[in-house]
Amino acid sequence: MTTTFTTPKKQLTWLITGCSSGFGLSLTRIAQAEGDKVIATSRNPSRTPELVREVESKGGKWLQLDLDNPNNAQVIEQLENSGQEIDVLVNNAGFSIFSPVETSTEEEYRAQMESMYFGPLRLIRAVLPHMRKRRFGIIVNMSSGAALEGRDTMGGYAGAKAGLDGTCIFSTSILSELKTDAGLVSWTGVTKVMAKEVAPFNVRTLTVNLGTFNTDMPNAATFGKNPLPDDYQGSVSAQMIQVIKSGKLPILGDKDKAMKAVYEVVVGEGVGAGYEAERFLPLGSDMTPRVKQVQQYLAHGLEVFGHVTDNVNLDR
């Protein structure tokens, strides 16, 4: 049964992480242009004084927020205690370390998890009590195609993204086996469970899985400190690292078009009208084959081993 969500007719207040460039800045500008209030955040606001002035001149606020700080959720309490109710939390900030799993260090993987799993999770846990009491709120996780089907060298990044949203796409063939007529269903990790828990309070979630877009993320990429073993030379992993370093990663998506779609789905207007209950929004034409690949992967497993799956139950 589909849950019906309602959105109050008022100016919404957004808290968006990672606003110094890319998706965060684009969504900030779109939300402000639509008349909403934005609390933008970044790790070092002093590096972008012109953007701080731009946002604050339009009635917004810009705060320093480091997702790696274990006390980062205090920003939620400070805002709420001052009377600034957060209606929409957008977990957008992040970075990627490119390195094969074999050569990656625990420190590198922990850094990915801290910024893109534990950091956002702390914010989510801090804002939910307020949203629950008000009977309204929206949690938006800006995820990646890597969370569905990570490319070589993206194990840390994909793992962190999948840990927070962990989206799995079930094809209609699997759904028919499950005796459900839902055309496409997405289940997620932490967000999956949370979405079920808070739906009765009119609090909803949206996981946005993004393909390649014209943001600064490729230029901000970092790489594992350990060199590749000789066996990896010429491999897809080595080629991926070379492409990222050369700045020649094919870019297909327009970030502003994507964030316009995110805004409309959040507020239930335009392309999002009537779809407030949807939890999964894939964006970018390169996402289509990745979604289909995951569908096929799952369907294939059931096709090959379905007879085994159904025959390992206790004898009755």
Residue 5 lies in a domain: no
157 a catalytic residue: yes
Interval 238-294: pLDDT, tens: 999 999 998 888 888 999 999 999 999 999 999 999 999 999 999 999 999 999 999
Would you state the pLDDT for residue 177? 44
Looking at the DSSP bridge assignments, the partners of residue 168 are 187
Give the mean model confidence (pLDDT) for residues 65-75: 95
Would you state the pLDDT for residue 75? 96
Looking at the DSSP bridge assignments, the partners of residue 55 are none
Interval 167-187: pLDDT, tens: 554 444 434 443 433 334 444
Residue 203 lies in a domain: yes
Would you state the pLDDT for residue 167? 54
* Percent of the chain whose predicted confidence (pLDDT) is above 90: 78
Give the mean model confidence (pLDDT) for residues 187-211: 89
Give the span between the Cα atoms of 18 and 43, in whole angstroms: 7
Interval 15-56: pLDDT, tens: 999 999 999 999 999 999 999 999 999 999 999 999 999 999
- Residue 279: which domain range? 13-307
Residue 1 lies in a domain: no
Would you state the pLDDT for residue 110? 95
Residue 252 lies in a domain: yes
Give the mean model confidence (pLDDT) for residues 132-153: 93
- Give the lowest-confidence range in 13-17, 82-86, 162-166: 162-166
Would you state the pLDDT for residue 174? 38
Would you state the pLDDT for residue 146? 86
Nearest CA-CA partner of 164 in 184, 182, 147, 145 = 147
Residue 109 lies in a domain: yes
Would you state the pLDDT for residue 53? 98
What CATH code is carried by the domain that includes residue 237?
3.40.50.720
Domain count, the chain: 1
Residue 81 has pLDDT above 90, yes or no: yes
Instruction: Check residues 199 and 251 and name the one with the higher pLDDT.
Output: 199
Catalytic residue among 109, 117, 157, 263: 157
Would you state the pLDDT for residue 220? 79
Would you state the pLDDT for residue 196? 92
pTM of the model: 0.90
Give the mean model confidence (pLDDT) for residues 127-144: 97
Residue 6 lies in a domain: no
Residue 205 lies in a domain: yes
